[in-house]
Amino acid sequence: MTSPSRYAWIDCSNGVSGDMLLGAFIDLGVELDDVVRALGLGASITSAATTRDGQRAVAVDVRARDDQPTRTLADLLRIVDAAGLSTTVAERARNVLTRLATAEARVHGTTVDAVHFHEIGAVDTVVDVVATCFAIESLGVDEVVAAPIALGGGTVETSHGTLPLPGPAVLELLAGSRLTAYGGPVDVELATPTGVALLAELATRTGPMPSMLPTAVGVGAGSRVIEGRANVVRVVTGAAESSASGGAEWLLLEANVDDLDPRLWPEILDRLLEAGAADAWLTPILMKKGRPAHTLSALTNSELVEAVRATMFRESSTIGVRATTVTKSALDRDWVTVEVDGEQVRVKIARLGGEVVNVSPEWVDVVTAARKLDRPAKEILAASVAAAGQELG
């Protein structure tokens, strides 16, 4: 996990649904028609400007043919796999759909394989999921932060009878996530399973808008008009303050370790990155009395320093960690997706004052494409750089 350079903060204080998220992303300028067509479902998205309690927003409607079959999770996963999506978009979409099916299976006391997504509802679900995952990648977002989710209350009529709100599936999805949520403040359904499942997969944490320089705001409308309450989701995108300022303060955590089984080091470095370190590494050293050892180092920002420090203590054998304040300058970054013999590879573009100074294909995508094409990874790497160069002109 690298330190984020671009955030998306999702304001869920009025609830969240898949259609509301799509409206916000369309409002941000993301083009979704091509990715929806790629699903091969005959579905389409229509959008229109509207207002909710005096606030401008974009409302969307996912439309599909009436002759849709009932689909299982396996059916939806096959649709995702056949759509030619990037590795990250496909993986995230698969995970969201699996979260939904797992929650429904637990609610109804059945197996994931037995859960059915009914007719038009299945199309709406897979479109919302795939299009949202695609939008996050298209915007070059490194980290999604979600505000606490307003769930609503009261009851709702379903094919299974009258159910209390928040709905059982929503609660199951929240139980296995990093999200925080609260009931109310009105007795209607504010958060849908699809919306919650998307946030459970995409958001790394819940909280207020992180320290960032906002660059755009997208507002998506819910289908219900609630008097005295703007039924909208807001998505705020922007550069993390550290990357935008070009020299924000960071913390370098270090510990000297001479008594650890060396087979543990790769796992420790992975755990530090998962905890939020921007980078983690080892340096061989010689300690007192000629003892060989390593300095374990991790670079992190002030928001994540406690989690990284705790991981260093927990995973290694050190009993002391020192911290040094350092500065880090980061280039502006965005992404393009290129094709190499039909396989998609994401490429990170780094710019200095608007000038492209580095083009770096995502290594996981390079390896995946190399294996599928049965070609050396170095060829895919070179072809990806060349394709990105052509796309950038």
Q: What pLDDT, in 10s, does the model give residues 89-132?
A: 999 999 999 999 999 999 989 999 999 887 567 899 999 999 99
CB atoms within 10 A of CB 208: 10
Enter the pTM of the model.
Answer: 0.64
Asked if pLDDT for residue 308 goes beyond 60, the answer is yes
In the structure encoding, which two tokens stand for residue 367, read together? Answer: 């390896």
Which residue stretches of the chain are H helix? 18-27, 33-38, 73-81, 87-108, 119-138, 168-175, 193-202, 241-245, 265-275, 305-315, 363-373, 377-392
Contacts of 78 (CB under 8 A, 6+ apart): none
CA distance 25 to 28: 5
Q: Is residue 64 part of a domain?
A: yes
Asked if pLDDT for residue 247 goes beyond 50, the answer is no
Predicted confidence at residue 3, as pLDDT, reads 53
Predicted confidence at residue 4, as pLDDT, reads 60
CA distance 103 to 94: 14
Classify strands 181-182 and 44-52 as parallel, antiparallel or unpaired. Answer: unpaired
Say yes or no: 82 and 127 in one domain. yes
Predicted confidence at residue 249, as pLDDT, reads 62
Distance of CA 244 to the CA centre of its chain: 21
Say yes or no: 90 and 228 in one domain. yes
* For residues 166-175, average pLDDT: 94
Single out the residue in 243, 273, 296 at which a domain terminates.
Answer: 243
Say yes or no: 230 and 263 in one domain. no
Q: Is residue 150 part of a domain?
A: yes
Say yes or no: 259 and 355 in one domain. no
Say yes or no: 111 and 12 in one domain. yes
Say yes or no: 216 and 265 in one domain. no
Nearest residue to 330 (alpha-carbon basis) of 347, 351, 311? 351
* For residues 197-204, average pLDDT: 96
Say yes or no: 171 and 285 in one domain. no
Say yes or no: 252 and 226 in one domain. no
Single out the residue in 306, 328, 350 at which a domain terminates.
Answer: 328
Predicted confidence at residue 121, as pLDDT, reads 73
Predicted confidence at residue 1, as pLDDT, reads 43
**Structural domain tally of the chain?**
3
Say yes or no: 263 and 194 in one domain. no
User: Which residues span the domain enclosing 388?
Assistant: 332-392
Number of residues that this document lists for the chain: 393
Nearest residue to 38 (alpha-carbon basis) of 138, 127, 122? 127
Secondary structure of residue 115 in the 3-state scheme: coil
Q: Is residue 1 part of a domain?
A: no
Helix (H) or strand (E) holding 325: strand 322-328
Single out the residue in 298, 328, 358 at which a domain terminates.
Answer: 328
Q: Looking at this protein, which amino acid is placed at residue 326?
A: V
Predicted confidence at residue 354, as pLDDT, reads 76
Q: Looking at this protein, which amino acid is placed at residue 305?
A: V
